[in-house]
Chains A and B, each alone.
Chain A
């Protein structure tokens, strides 16, 4: 008589999820030179801009409110770019460095991997926000809009950054190489930022207004301009928050959905 015994009596506990991945990724980002180098560059650019914006009229042609608007918009734009670059590297970078396969053969779900990396990339935005807050607070103190400036930076900037960080991760999960992922992510950011450069007349037309509101990046930047420069009340700005909110939710959902198809070689 033959009886079959189980092959393995080795047991395993439920694997840690996204928090383990996030802790690891945050450590790699901030204990290596990558995150600190990006943050240092960001700080330098913001300091240079703040210096020019706060200088006398000889080199600064903007009034105090316009200077605050420029600083806040720059902080949002550059902070978002920094977070986007980090997230666009998150999976395609592992793929390129040959470290993805070892991760994919652990019992941690693809979804947990992606969420952990998303959380880590978001810390780049948080770090840029922390760097930008003193600049914005000091610059906005003169015209008395410090509260508004900080709120715009946190709310509009946070939503735009969340949307584009998720987009970067979604691109990274399907890109076959890191170069493709980074190029695609930055190209998308540039395309989204383009409507904010529309001339004032075009931007105020019906079509221009719709284009700006429908685009999360231009909507966030336009809202900053409306509140800080044009002194429009917050209550009139809710329409500008719709596309950033929708984009943040939809792109995060997209990134998580694509995680189910996370493949070693990228999308075929």
Chain B
């Protein structure tokens, strides 16, 4: 018997309206437990509205959604199953971090001792342990880690993060990404990550969904989305100078390669125009190796998620 795990998030024709403005238009989206799904799109595309609808903050105009097995029509059960770090999350200035987390733990129905235990564990995990200073004295990075700890206090099945690394330095970004990856891998938490930082999305997300004008325009793995977006790229491979003709011939038969060219001033370097396809680097290197040519260097340019994003989305939409 094959056993499948039910989706952590599943929406069907989900629509959100603010008056006459349709913020989310018939959204179909699925995310599995333990999966990190990047929700991308230009400003005003509807990402935050999706999160607010799925976290029961804004009402749904039509369609349906299930979060951790609970329908949105049962908001308290949904809220008990989720953790949320909103984009512009505020913090109490005078309270210290343990008291802040303890309070939220109690709001989720934990008794004081259990809330305290989880608070201390999460603070240690977020490198905030032993810090009893008021939250008002924390740096932005510390606050974001505290916000993530707050979102995890109820051990949620689904974690919604809206621009969690915005304004953080590289070390702060890395900390947050490591924590959300840990939550997905170790706790099997489904993470829905909204971010404009496409490099980090490429790095941590299992799948992405790109929104534009209230609708999803592409969904799948990063490679799939890049391939389906019809964006090629360029590459440069270095082989032994005497193998340049053989390499040109080998790559001529490779479906990932549109054309090749070389410059005599750089002997052994072959410039390649790549087709919009999945795993172009793998195809190029495989073609060379199959022809018995050993690449000495390979540099892939373009064909990144950012190229696909720009190809799939239009200019910023009004909010």
Q: Which residues on A are within 8 Å of B, measured CB to CB?
A: 1-8, 10, 12-16, 20-21, 24, 28, 31-32, 94, 97-99, 101-109, 264, 268
For A105, list chain B residues within 8 Å (CB).
55-57, 79, 82, 84
Chief secondary structure at chain A's binding surface: loop
Closest to A15 in B: B109
For A8, list chain B residues within 8 Å (CB).
8, 33, 68-69, 81, 157
For A106, list chain B residues within 8 Å (CB).
79, 104, 107-108
Chief secondary structure at chain B's binding surface: loop
Number of interface residues of B (CB under 8 A): 46
For B110, list chain A residues within 8 Å (CB).
13
Interchain CB contact (< 8 A) of A32 among B2, B89, B94: B94
Bound CA–CA A32/B93 (angstroms) = 10
Listed A/B pairs (15) with beta-carbon separation below 8 Å: A2-B2, A4-B5, A5-B3, A8-B68, A8-B81, A8-B157, A10-B156, A13-B109, A20-B107, A28-B95, A98-B89, A99-B91, A102-B147, A105-B55, A105-B56
B108 engages A15 (CB within 8 Å):
yes
Bound CA–CA A153/B28 (angstroms) = 61
Closest to A3 in B: B3
Closest to A4 in B: B6
Closest to A13 in B: B109
Closest to B91 in A: A99
Q: Which 10 A-B pairs have the closest CB atoms?
A: A98-B90, A8-B157, A15-B109, A13-B109, A99-B90, A97-B90, A106-B107, A107-B80, A8-B68, A12-B80
Most A C-beta atoms less than 10 A away, residue of B19, B57, B58, B82? B57
Residues 1-22 of B, flagged 1 when their CB comes within 8 A of A and 0 if not, give: 1111111100000000011000
Q: Which residues on B are within 8 Å of A, measured CB to CB?
A: 1-8, 18-19, 33, 52, 55-58, 68-69, 76-77, 79-82, 84, 86, 88-92, 94-95, 103-104, 106-110, 147, 150, 154-157
Nearest Cβ on chain A to B186's Cβ, whole angstroms: 14
B106 engages A7 (CB within 8 Å):
no
Given A7-B69, A102-B89, A102-B150, check contact A14 B109 (CB 8 Å): yes
Interchain CB contact (< 8 A) of A264 among B4, B57, B81, B103: B57
For B80, list chain A residues within 8 Å (CB).
12, 15, 107
B55 engages A99 (CB within 8 Å):
no
B107 engages A108 (CB within 8 Å):
yes
B104 engages A7 (CB within 8 Å):
no
Bound CA–CA A15/B153 (angstroms) = 13
Nearest Cβ on chain B to A86's Cβ, whole angstroms: 15
Nearest Cβ on chain A to B34's Cβ, whole angstroms: 10
Interchain CB contact (< 8 A) of A3 among B1, B33, B76, B108: B1
Given A13-B110, A102-B150, check contact A7 B6 (CB 8 Å): yes
For B4, list chain A residues within 8 Å (CB).
2-5
For A99, list chain B residues within 8 Å (CB).
89-92
Bound CA–CA A20/B108 (angstroms) = 10
For A5, list chain B residues within 8 Å (CB).
3-6
B107 engages A28 (CB within 8 Å):
no
Nearest Cβ on chain B to A31's Cβ, whole angstroms: 7
Closest to A21 in B: B107
Nearest Cβ on chain A to B271's Cβ, whole angstroms: 49
Bound CA–CA A14/B103 (angstroms) = 15
B108 engages A107 (CB within 8 Å):
yes
Nearest Cβ on chain A to B82's Cβ, whole angstroms: 7
B108 engages A6 (CB within 8 Å):
no
Given A12-B80, A264-B58, check contact A6 B94 (CB 8 Å): no
A101 engages B109 (CB within 8 Å):
no
Nearest Cβ on chain B to A176's Cβ, whole angstroms: 14
Bound CA–CA A264/B58 (angstroms) = 8
